[in-house]
Amino acid sequence: MRGSVTAAAAALGVAVLLAGAATADNGPDRAAPPGKVLPLLPVRATQPAALVRRHEPNQQAGLAGWVRHEGPWFVWYAPDRGWQGVQSFAGIDLLSGDARLAVSFGFSGWPTPLTFEDVVRYWERVMTSGVVRNIRFDGTGPTTQQGAIYRRVYAWHGYRTDLQQAIRGVLTIHVYRDDANGVYGFDNYTRVGPAANYAAVDPTLARIQSLIFYKPTEPPCLRHDPQCEPNKKKKK
């Protein structure tokens, strides 16, 4: 089952989305150059703690009947045991037993501010590298701000060539911008399901999305960050 889920995640193109950013009133305003393709891997070790939900022992309260899953990096909950997850230190992909429903989360630090358009462009590139085609956006919510975090939600639809099925989904982007300390970061959530009954399944997907928790106190060093190398050598 784990192998088939992993393959389905790769085919669907909802692998961890390590890219994102924001543009908002009094918020990030530096757009990427036209045609810029964001790198697949993050380039900064800083991971703003505000961007990830931390797991606490009592978070199973009120989840009677739901199944708790735990891996090396994340704790998450699903409505049944058919759901499977593939995770890394910076994200997780969750798929239903039949691989028709999916929820993904990814986060990263970043060396500079970005725009919402940057992450949307990259997200589309990742999604269409698998079996998803003809992505169109149905609506964009307002940009909201809570402290240094900016948020925007997108509704979209597309087509899955493997199932020959119309699909719908929701993309949520958060960005962290602390200009005073030069700390930037982002996360994004994707949830997706068949268009025919999406309104019926989305509440479940949204709840799964809200029940993804990060375990470590601090993420490990990321690649391409020279400042991490001395720390790694000291620990060996």
The domains of the chain, with CATH numbers, are 2-231 (3.40.1000.10)
Element at 138 (helix H, strand E): strand 132-140
Q: Mean pLDDT across the stretch 68-73?
A: 92
84 neighbors 94 (Cβ within 8 angstroms): yes
CB atoms within 10 A of CB 153: 16
Q: How confident is the model at residue 129 (pLDDT cuts 50, 70, 90)?
A: confident
pLDDT digits (tens, 9 = 90+) for 179-193: 887 777 778 899 999
Element at 160 (helix H, strand E): strand 149-160
Higher per-residue pLDDT: 73 or 62: 73
Q: Return d(Cα 61, Cα 25) in angstroms, integer.
A: 38
Residue 60 is given by DSSP the state: G
- Given a cut of 60, is residue 229 above it in pLDDT? no
Higher per-residue pLDDT: 191 or 236: 191
Q: Across all residues in the chain, what is the average pLDDT?
A: 75
Share of the chain above pLDDT 90, in %: 37
| pTM for this entry | 0.77
Count, residues in the chain: 236
